[in-house]
Amino acid sequence: MRKLVVTVALIVAASALVFWIDHGRRAEADRQARCADYELRLAAFEHGQVTGDYDAKGESRSGLEFRVSRCRQAANPGP
C-alpha cells in the first residue's frame, strides 16, 4: 500500500513538473508572437501604410511604440 502511495505521488509530481515546463514554453512563445505583431503594426505606421491615428486593431502609434519598447525590455532585461 505504501509503495502505491509513493508511486502515485511521484507520478503526480512528474506530471506537475511537465505541465509547469510546458506552460512556461507556451507563455514565452505567446509573448514572442505578441511582440512580433506589435512590431509589424508599428512598421505599418512608419511606412505610411496606416494613414489615420489608429491602426485596424484600434491602437495608436504611441501605444504601439510603448508596447514594442516593453517587449524589447522583457527580451533583454539587462543588469
Q: What is the pLDDT along the chain (79 residues), one digit of tens a residue?
A: 889 999 999 999 999 998 888 888 888 899 999 999 999 999 999 998 988 899 989 999 999 999 999 999 988 776 6
- pLDDT for position 77: 74
Half-sphere exposure of 69 (CA within 13 A, CB side): 6
28-35 contact pairs (CB < 8 A, 24+)? 31/71, 31/74, 34/71, 35/67, 35/68, 35/71, 35/72, 35/74, 35/75
